[in-house]
A = this chain, B = another copy of it.
């Protein structure tokens, strides 16, 4: 995320102006014994799913409007069957908006072929993290966890050197990784590149504590869906970060404690047809927490 320091760098403000401000005691030397802040270890991003109703041009405009620089690529913005040239054009367009497409997903996959296709895609588009949902259909045609496929994915992770982050979906999908624990149970003895995209909203809606998941599975945190919800039950609905039931300060403190160095991607699922206002409030809120914690 943008810290005060990186802001100065980005804005190209003159050294004299900064020196003048520092002398006044208002920049980088907060009162009450606090010292100049370190760079935040992790970055602030947005999950592509937030923009399910928008094309990539509209999406990048919004990401830029809220001064965010990392986007997790959803395949409705860059299809899995894209060519290398299309991927390059996509990244060029992102760069023109100051945005890095740092990972891809969530990608649903239910067969070795689908998994292989997804890893080829991730390799072709040049990302090192894939958010995935490995499933199979049970006798009732319901999507459920697929431990066999995860064994194959464990091989692909090593073959491609790409991290695989299982996305938890909360109580709406009780048999398809409702929480971080259900994923870790299957992958705990696999390659460390097998891990989690911890969705703290769904974790909380499933009655599990997202803070504990961060602390317990820190070495498997490969991506992160930042969100807030109205209550810790299945009825919990997405809401602006400052207005929900999850203690976001505790979340930030936990991420700092485990020195999470990946991207914290806001996945905003309220007002999906017109999300920019809630995104701005949410991004602002988490930046404020980041700047005020250390």
Query: A residues within 8 Å of B by Cβ?
Result: 2, 4, 7-8, 11, 13, 17-18, 20-21, 24-32, 34, 65-67, 204, 207-212, 215, 230-233, 240-250, 252-254, 257, 276-278, 280-293
Q: Is the interface of A mostly helix, strand, loop or mixed?
A: helix
How many identical subunits does the complex contain?
2
**Contacting pair A242 B291 (CB below 8 A):** yes
Given A31-B257, A65-B277, A292-B289, A24 and B240 contact (CB-CB distance below 8 Å): no
Residues of B within 8 A of A18 (CB): 245
Give the distance to chain B from A229, nearest Cβ to Cβ, in Å: 10
Given A288-B286, A292-B293, A246 and B27 contact (CB-CB distance below 8 Å): yes
**Contacting pair A20 B207 (CB below 8 A):** yes
Given A211-B25, A277-B276, A289-B288, A250 and B30 contact (CB-CB distance below 8 Å): yes
**Contacting pair B26 A242 (CB below 8 A):** no
Give the distance to chain B from A238, nearest Cβ to Cβ, in Å: 14
**Contacting pair B231 A291 (CB below 8 A):** no
| Ranked 4 nearest A-B pairs via Cβ | A288-B288, A284-B284, A292-B292, A284-B285
Q: How far is it, in angstroms, between the C-alpha of A288 and the C-alpha of B13 when the chains are bound?
A: 26
Q: How far is it, in angstroms, between the C-alpha of A18 and the C-alpha of B286 when the chains are bound?
A: 22
Given A231-B21, A242-B284, A292 and B249 contact (CB-CB distance below 8 Å): yes
